[in-house]
A and B are shown apart, each in its own frame.
Chain A
Amino acid sequence: NAGVTQTPKFRILKIGQSMTLQCTQDMNHNYMYWYRQDPGMGLKLIYYSVGAGITDKGEVPNGYNVSRSTTEDFPLRLELAAPSQTSVYFCASSPRGGGSYNEQFFGPGTRLTVL
């Protein structure tokens, strides 16, 4: 199993450009998440999904959009990129949302710079 894969690994955008960060998991997990990680700020939840066709906002959703058409894929769309969106983005999946003995599996991350 590949686990959670993300593409691209790195990207530089100009202000106002748009892009989609891809995330795929092969563990048949219902729950998927997008986080951004900034130095000293930990992991901030952007959006999450509890299954195909169902998404919900996390702590910092402004400037982002998501869709979940299949169990495997959970792309994150940035519209009109801004310097404040410079960050490392992680996708994660888990079999359940909460509860004991549950685990989130993280992808390797996408490092995005907006200039």
Chain B
Amino acid sequence: QQQVKQSPQSLIVQKGGIPIINCAYENTAFDYFPWYQQFPGKGPALLIAIRPDVSEKKEGRFTISFNKSAKQFSLHIMDSQPGDSATYFCAASRPTGNQFYFGTGTSLTVIP
């Protein structure tokens, strides 16, 4: 059973576009929602994260929007660049858990 559901599976945008990746969860015990970025041939690395006590977090061109009542969160990439082409994973964890629960990933391609 997938604890965190992610969509779309793949996404192609033009340079300068704003790709949006969506995730949804059911377990209300989750209290931390990171996004990981993975370049081809590399391991995932933490990109940005949010707690449910805020509705939005920005770091540079990357923004997380969080809707606690809908149990959904999304990643927006402003002014996307070809160098942003990567696979993005959303994740969630509980305060006293032993693991992160990852989404299935979104392969993003930014066309020059």
Asked if A pairs with B, the answer is: yes
| Residue ranges of A at the interface with B (Cβ–Cβ < 8 Å) | 4, 31, 33, 40-43, 45, 48, 50, 56, 58, 90, 92, 94, 97-104, 106-109
Closest Cβ of chain B to A41, distance in Å, is 6
Contact (Cβ within 8 A) A104 B100 = yes
Residues of B in contact (CB 8 Å), total 27
Closest Cβ of chain A to B91, distance in Å, is 8
Contact (Cβ within 8 A) B32 A107 = no
Contacts A106-B45, A108-B43: A43 and B102 contacting too (C-beta < 8 A)? yes
Closest Cβ of chain A to B29, distance in Å, is 10
Contact (Cβ within 8 A) A106 B89 = no
Contact (Cβ within 8 A) B94 A98 = yes
Contact (Cβ within 8 A) A100 B32 = yes
| Residue ranges of B at the interface with A (Cβ–Cβ < 8 Å) | 6, 9, 31-32, 34, 36, 41-46, 49, 51, 89, 93-100, 102-105
Contacts of B95 in A (CB 8 A): 98-100
Contacts of A45 in B (CB 8 A): 99
Contacts of A102 in B (CB 8 A): 32, 93
Contacts A42-B102, A42-B104: A109 and B42 contacting too (C-beta < 8 A)? yes
- Cβ-closest chain B residue relative to A50: B98
Question: Closest 9 interchain pairs by CB?
Answer: A106-B43, A98-B97, A42-B104, A97-B98, A98-B93, A43-B102, A100-B32, A42-B105, A98-B94
Residue of A41, A58, A90, A97 near B43 (CB, 8 A) is: A90
Contact (Cβ within 8 A) B43 A109 = yes
Contacts A98-B32, A99-B32, A103-B34: A41 and B104 contacting too (C-beta < 8 A)? yes
Chain A CB within 10 Å, residue with most, of B43, B95, B97 = B43
Contact (Cβ within 8 A) A48 B99 = yes
Closest Cβ of chain A to B95, distance in Å, is 5
Task: Give Cα A45–Cα B3 distance, bound, in whole angstroms.
Answer: 12
